[in-house]
């Protein structure tokens, strides 16, 4: 029943298509974004003719960027990621391309300077790193979509590539969230909504079996989408509950343990209770502490983190907040 409610709620909000339209609009262009730094880099980059399409040609162009410095390679890499998003590629080609771009993207991210000073007060002022992560997430989402709509038995019999795509989707979402927290920058619009979209999609398709009685071992090395989703949720929740006083490096190593003990509960059985942590999957927000009594159910879950997480929050806040009761 919960999966059915999530399906209709997500569908009404255009969340389950996994086309990424909420994340990257059809008329999106790097040449038009509100970033003086990016416009300067694009102006300095070489004017290329219409590039050859196909996975092999794309990977060759990506490989050619290795000999360039960051200032020359970055705009070319970002334009390539934008073209990949627009191209009509099958599942196999998209998988090949994502393997090609992963390392160059991570290398570029490691080389980019971090922002300083207060966050922007208005406007779409995402940094270059945030834009790079945004493009990577978008392309991984499209790759997952292509895999799932491919009828070939290749992916039905061997889901290793699908798992690889999902692993990196959650990792890049987590990078985006950590960056916003640690460098005090607003997240790109729809980051949380698209993360919820992804998880609802997995639940509705039966790829995640939610159970409040089931606990995942933190020593299990296999990929678990529920654990990865909960890790991201706890990142956002800790940030909210501590008013950004906790840097992610202070607790990131504990996230897997906390996530394995965190429960996602059906809100229908909790109506009337107070101090719950609400997660509404149609909203572009992390979980939020709801101080009053829950008057009615909603599309999403009540998040119940473990005692160790609550103790960490209390420690960061030096006792100036009552313990979370959810």
Q: Per residue of the chain (326 residues), what is the pLDDT tens digit?
A: 555 555 444 443 333 344 444 445 544 444 444 455 555 555 555 555 567 889 999 999 999 998 888 888 899 999 999 999 999 999 999 999 999 999 999 999 999 999 887 777 665 678 999 999 999 999 999 999 999 988 655 655 668 999 999 999 999 999 999 999 999 999 999 999 999 999 999 998 888 877 644 444 444 567 899 999 999 999 999 999 999 998 899 899 999 999 999 999 999 999 989 899 999 999 999 999 998 899 998 999 999 999 999 999 999 987 554 445 45
How confident is the model at residue 207, as a pLDDT?
A: 81
Domain identity same for 316 and 205:
yes
Domain boundary among 185, 201, 221: 185
Contact 281, 22 (CB under 8 A): no
Domain boundary among 163, 185, 207: 185
Identify whether 118 is part of a domain. no
306: left (phi over 0), alpha (psi -120 to 50) or beta: beta
- Please write down the long-range contacts of 70-76, taking CB distance under 8 Å and 24 or more positions apart: 70/108, 70/111, 70/112, 71/41, 71/44, 72/44, 72/45, 73/104, 73/108, 74/41, 74/108, 74/112, 74/128, 74/132, 75/30, 75/38, 75/41, 75/42, 75/44, 75/45, 76/45, 76/46
Domain identity same for 103 and 207:
no
**How many whole angstroms separate alpha carbon 200 and alpha carbon 10?**
7
Scanning 126-190, the segments in alpha helix (DSSP H) are: 128-149, 153-157, 160-182
Angle at which helices 91-111 and 160-182 cross, to 10°: 30
Domain identity same for 159 and 259:
no
Supply the DSSP symbol for 274.
Answer: E
Domain identity same for 5 and 107:
no
Q: Is 120 helix (H, G, I), strand (E, B) or coil?
A: coil
Domain identity same for 225 and 151:
no
Identify whether 31 is part of a domain. yes
How confident is the model at residue 40, as a pLDDT?
A: 57
- Which DSSP helix (H) or strand (E) runs through 183? none
Identify whether 116 is part of a domain. no
Domain identity same for 10 and 27:
no
Domain identity same for 46 and 166:
yes
- Rg over alpha carbons for the chain, rounded to the nearest Å, is 20
Identify whether 54 is part of a domain. yes
How confident is the model at residue 78, as a pLDDT?
A: 93
Contact 132, 75 (CB under 8 A): no
Q: What is the pTM of this model?
A: 0.83
**How many whole angstroms separate alpha carbon 111 and alpha carbon 214?**
41
How confident is the model at residue 218, as a pLDDT?
A: 47
| DSSP one-letter string for 19-59 | S-TTTS-TT--GGGSS-HHHHHHHHHS----SPPPSHHHHH
Identify whether 121 is part of a domain. no
Domain identity same for 72 and 147:
yes
Domain count, the chain: 2
Domain identity same for 161 and 42:
yes
Identify whether 117 is part of a domain. no
**Kindly report the CA angle at 114 between 109 and 119, in degrees rounded to 5?**
125
Domain boundary among 185, 217, 235: 185
Identify whether 84 is part of a domain. yes
No. of helices (H) and no. of strands (E), the chain: 12, 4
Domain identity same for 34 and 165:
yes
Domain identity same for 216 and 324:
yes
Supply the DSSP symbol for 320.
Answer: -
Identify whether 55 is part of a domain. yes
Domain identity same for 133 and 244:
no
Tokens standing for residue 181: 């927290």
Domain residue limits at 323:
1-14+190-326
Q: How far is CA 303 from CA 116, 212, 234, 273, 326, in A?
A: 33, 11, 9, 13, 7
């Amino acid at each position: 029943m919960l999966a059915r409610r999530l399906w209709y709620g997500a569908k009404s909000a255009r969340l389950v298509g996994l086309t990424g339209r909420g994340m990257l609009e059809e008329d999106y262009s790097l040449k038009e974004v509100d970033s003086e730094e990016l416009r300067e880099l694009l102006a300095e980059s070489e004017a290329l003719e219409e590039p050859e399409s196909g996975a092999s040609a794309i990977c060759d162009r990506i490989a050619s960027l290795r000999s360039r410095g960051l200032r020359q390679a970055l705009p070319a890499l970002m334009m390539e990621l934008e073209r990949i998003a627009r191209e009509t590629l099958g599942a196999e080609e998209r998988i090949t391309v994502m393997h090609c771009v992963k390392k160059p993207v991570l290398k570029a991210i490691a080389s980019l300077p971090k922002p300083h000073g207060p966050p922007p007060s208005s406007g779409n002022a995402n940094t270059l790193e945030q834009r790079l992560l945004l493009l990577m997430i978008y392309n991984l989402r499209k790759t997952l979509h292509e895999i799932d709509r491919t009828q070939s038995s290749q992916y039905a019999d061997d889901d290793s590539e699908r798992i690889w795509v999902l692993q990196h989707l959650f990792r890049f979402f987590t990078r985006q969230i950590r960056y916003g927290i640690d460098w005090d920058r607003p997240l790109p619009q729809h980051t949380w909504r698209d993360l919820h979209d992804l998880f609802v999609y997995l639940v509705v398709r039966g790829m995640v079996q939610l159970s409040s009685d089931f606990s995942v071992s933190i020593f299990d090395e296999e990929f678990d989408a529920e654990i990865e989703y909960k890790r991201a949720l706890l990142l956002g929740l800790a940030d909210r509950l501590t008013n950004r006083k906790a840097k992610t490096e202070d607790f990131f190593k504990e996230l897997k343990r906390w996530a394995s003990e965190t429960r996602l509960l059906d809100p229908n059985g909790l109506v009337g209770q107070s101090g719950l942590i609400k997660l509404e999957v149609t909203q572009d927000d992390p979980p939020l502490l709801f101080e009053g009594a829950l008057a009615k159910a909603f599309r999403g879950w009540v998040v119940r983190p473990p005692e160790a997480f609550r103790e960490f929050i209390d420690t960061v806040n030096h006792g100036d907040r009552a313990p979370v009761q959810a």
